[in-house]
Amino acid sequence: MSTTLPAPDLATFFNPASLAFVGATEDISKFGGRVMRAVLEFGYKGRVYPVNPRYATLLGQPCYPSVSALPEAPDHVGIVIAAHRVLDTLKQCADRGARFATIFTSNFSETGEASGRALQDEIVAFARANGIRLLGPNCNGFINFVDAFAFASTAAIKGPRKPAGDVGLVCHSGGLGQMNIMWRAQEAGLGITYEVSCGNEADLDAMDFMRFMIDDERTRVIMVAVETIRDGRKFAEVARHAADREKPIVMLKFGRTDAGRRAAASHTGALTGADEVHDAAFRQYGVLRVTDCNELYEVAKLLRRRKWPRGSRAAALSGSGGHSVLMADLGAANGIDWVPYQDQTVNGLRELMPDFAGVSNPTDLTSALTGSKHLFEDALNVVALDEGVDVLIPVLVAPTVPAIETVVKLSDNTDKAVAVLWTGYCPNDPLVVASTLVARGLPVYRDALTCLKAVRAAMTYGEFLRAHKRAASEPPVRPAGIDVAQAKELIATGAGNMTERSSKEVLAAYGLHITQERLATNTQNAASSARDIGKPVALKIESPDIPHKTEANAIRLNVTGDAEVARAFDEVMAAARRYQPEARLDGVLVQEMAPGGVEVMLGVASDPTFGVVVVAALGGIHVEVLRDIAYRIPPLTAADALAMLRELRAYPIFGGVRGARPRDLDALCDTIVRLSWLAHDHADTVAEIDINPLTVLEPGAGVRVVDALIIRKQEPTT
């Protein structure tokens, strides 16, 4: 929607000097009454103008019949009157020069009806034309803890105002965001800066608010819970900006399931819109995806310390063998490396515990912990100096207050990330609990898996930031041997499906290795083409109207000898004519039989959210049944291509299994890079590319594009 608009300055939106509220009432059984109360009770310090023609005063404030009647132009106008009356109020706002409005009112596009949609389009068009930026409609406003301004109706802010902190929150839903995430995060000891419930996102959208929070000095982590991402390009820009400022975005994106349902077909085109593309895009942009509301703030607990792990090497110290085994197990399952300690660390620990036979990690300090006052502190300090450890995980069960303070001190003083697993309580001061420590900045977790998932998220973010910085200094470079103009000309020669041969010519213009082949138009040149190629050949119909040649039975494989080739030519032509009598037949492609290798499917597809996407998988069952597919948004570097292949469960096949030879991964990565540039350069004209199969040969022998299909965006006119 607002992609092309510049990033709005939302400082006044969040902290207006003056506020009008159209539809205010004293009746707290009404939404307008509850929002009015929230404004007054939460501590808004600006000037408030309730607007309602039915009252002269309201909650002790003078009340106005209309925005036009206000004594000054309000910075921000809230609107909770019926949908059909909203436009009239906006007109008054425009007349007075108000710059921001929050429309709580429902019955716009969310109804799914044309009238609601039209009403919404009308108010957005008016607001755009008159320089007013809108939150909503159909939203539950926002809460600004920094300036004590709540503009929402929610039980989540009842009682004394909670202190502002360093975590921001952007949601579509009000109920879910304000209670499940914001209130729960606060109960867990975190402080919120801003919470926004975006509703229909008719004008300002989730990404505008994310951007505001990225630029906000106080906000260190941004939690986001949305049902849809309306604009993938804008999302990418905002995420890049967040990465530049090292502000992690933790994301709960619903809709995995619908995607799963859609994701059944085999066609590359059908691979788009899949939730897996969101996964891939989030990974690529450094957005940390989680699966439930609580994970948002659990991950934020650790990230807000802004100590980015340099790798995935962790150490855990506990006083119980059970905890050590549990941590070892769950950590390894979540991609955390329990590295052996450096010699100095092992020696240091042995000095503390002379009975230690072997010092392993996770480290069980055994019941000796109960007998010694300083063992835990001393052991932690020894391990904190180990340069092979990126994240330190002290495990507490029933610690003393001094033991807890040791951990707080360590966490503040070390440059390693420290995540604490505390499964029990503090016997000598039951008021010291996880949330009081979280409020003091210590990331404390109650459950091992939650702790380790947060640690893994921090490691992933650290990895991402390193890659992001490298990419900033070395952006993807177009490989040599690409002829953009030639590819452009080939693509422009028609519309709709390209034939196999012309598709391959486009690929060849980007330096992809295609099978040796000739187009034959009669039996004689079919036979001579086969002789030129000098090995067994395949014959395939070449027709822009028959993209699925196997279905038409218009393929013959492994043909040798003049007579056989000639017969195969006639058979293929006849089969094509039978299959589709009106099809344009350009001839028969005589093609070398590709040597045996691992067959890969590469593709380019258009995702409705993220645009052009590069797709890689093994062929056949791996795509359709096993859904073992990797996605990336182009252009890509060779490192990106390799990372993409490594995401495939079937990846080890390229290294050779069951005594098979390994495969030419360099050539495969180079092919993916070239394809990604093709996708990038011709995103406006190419709808889809299918390379299926690409045969990957032994190291040094390269790859061969055996079959390919390019579908242009422009439909054929016939």
In the complex with a second copy, which residue's Cβ is closer, 273 or 587? 273
Tell me which of 39, 146, 296, 448 binds a second copy, using CB under 8 A.
448
In the complex with a second copy, which residue's Cβ is closer, 82 or 625? 625
Tell me if 501 contacts a second copy by CB under 8 A. no
Tell me which of 10, 35, 79, 156 binds a second copy, using CB under 8 A.
156
Tell me which of 66, 294, 342, 381 binds a second copy, using CB under 8 A.
294
Least gap, CB of 630 to a second copy (angstroms): 15
Q: Which of 715, 604, 637, 635 is nearest to 272 (CA)?
A: 604
In the complex with a second copy, which residue's Cβ is closer, 618 or 642? 618
Question: What's the CA gap between 377 and 380, in Å, rounded?
Answer: 5
The residues that bridge with 48 in the sheet, in sequence order, are: 19
Tell me if 638 contacts a second copy by CB under 8 A. no
Least gap, CB of 27 to a second copy (angstroms): 12
**Part of the chain binding a second copy (CB under 8 A), chosen from 93-101, 238-246, 314-322, 485-493:** 314-322
Least gap, CB of 159 to a second copy (angstroms): 9
Retrieve residue 252's tokens.
Answer: 């709960």
> Which three-class secondary structure string do you get for 3-23?
CCCCCCCCHHHHCCCEEEEEC
Answer whether 42's CB lies under 8 Å from 157's CB.
yes
Least gap, CB of 581 to a second copy (angstroms): 23
Question: What's the CA gap between 151 and 480, in Å, rounded?
Answer: 56
Site map (CB under 8 A) of a second copy, residues 405-444, x = contact: ------------------xxx-x-----------------
Give residue for tokens 């499917």: 601
Least gap, CB of 448 to a second copy (angstroms): 6
Tell me which of 76, 172, 540, 704 binds a second copy, using CB under 8 A.
172
Tell me if 131 contacts a second copy by CB under 8 A. no
In the complex with a second copy, which residue's Cβ is closer, 276 or 517? 276
Tell me which of 78, 319, 603, 635 binds a second copy, using CB under 8 A.
319
Least gap, CB of 573 to a second copy (angstroms): 23
In the complex with a second copy, which residue's Cβ is closer, 176 or 270? 176
Burial 148-176 (b: 16+ CB within 10 A, else e): ebbbbbbebbeeeebebbbbbbbbbbbeb
Question: What's the CA gap between 281 and 587, in Å, rounded?
Answer: 42
SS3 call for 476:
coil
Tell me if 553 contacts a second copy by CB under 8 A. no
Least gap, CB of 479 to a second copy (angstroms): 30
Tell me if 330 contacts a second copy by CB under 8 A. yes
- Residue 493 burial by CB count (10 A; 0-12/13-18/19+): exposed, middle or buried? exposed
Q: Phi/psi of residue 39, each to 5°?
A: -60, -50
Q: Which of 642, 650, 690 is nearest to 666 (CA)?
A: 642
Question: What's the CA gap between 623 and 645, in Å, rounded?
Answer: 14
Tell me if 473 contacts a second copy by CB under 8 A. no
Tell me if 262 contacts a second copy by CB under 8 A. no
Tell me if 81 contacts a second copy by CB under 8 A. no
Answer whether 466's CB lies under 8 Å from 347's CB.
no
- Residue 500 burial by CB count (10 A; 0-12/13-18/19+): exposed, middle or buried? buried
Burial 28-67 (b: 16+ CB within 10 A, else e): eeebbbbbbbbbbebebebbbbbbbeebeebbebebbeeb
Count of residues that bind a second copy according to CB under 8 A: 68
Tell me if 475 contacts a second copy by CB under 8 A. no
In the complex with a second copy, which residue's Cβ is closer, 572 or 618? 618
Tell me if 629 contacts a second copy by CB under 8 A. no
Question: What's the CA gap between 526 and 467, in Å, rounded?
Answer: 51
In the complex with a second copy, which residue's Cβ is closer, 325 or 385? 325
In the complex with a second copy, which residue's Cβ is closer, 301 or 323? 323
Answer whether 162's CB lies under 8 Å from 187's CB.
no
Question: What's the CA gap between 248 and 237, in Å, rounded?
Answer: 14
Tell me if 557 contacts a second copy by CB under 8 A. no
Answer whether 373's CB lies under 8 Å from 406's CB.
no
CB-based contacts of 131, cutoff 8 Å, min separation 6 = 94, 99
Tell me which of 61, 130, 320, 486 binds a second copy, using CB under 8 A.
320
In the complex with a second copy, which residue's Cβ is closer, 332 or 472? 332
In the region spanning residues 214 to 253, those forming contacts with a second copy, defined by CB under 8 A, are: 225, 227
Site map (CB under 8 A) of a second copy, residues 350-369, x = contact: -----------------x--
SS3 call for 582:
coil
In the complex with a second copy, which residue's Cβ is closer, 19 or 452? 452
In the complex with a second copy, which residue's Cβ is closer, 163 or 424? 424
SS3 call for 71:
coil
Tell me which of 4, 29, 473, 493 binds a second copy, using CB under 8 A.
29
In the complex with a second copy, which residue's Cβ is closer, 317 or 512? 317
Question: What's the CA gap between 433 and 444, in Å, rounded?
Answer: 9
Tell me if 449 contacts a second copy by CB under 8 A. yes
Question: What's the CA gap between 203 and 215, in Å, rounded?
Answer: 20
Tell me which of 37, 91, 184, 409 binds a second copy, using CB under 8 A.
184
CA 495 to chain centroid, in Å, comes to: 34
Least gap, CB of 113 to a second copy (angstroms): 9
Answer whether 697's CB lies under 8 Å from 597's CB.
yes
Q: Which residues bind a second copy (CB under 8 A)?
A: 29, 31, 155-156, 158, 171-177, 179-180, 183-184, 225, 227, 254-257, 260, 266, 291-294, 319-323, 325-326, 328-330, 332-333, 367, 371, 397-398, 423-425, 427, 446-450, 551, 620-621, 624-626, 628, 649-653, 657-659
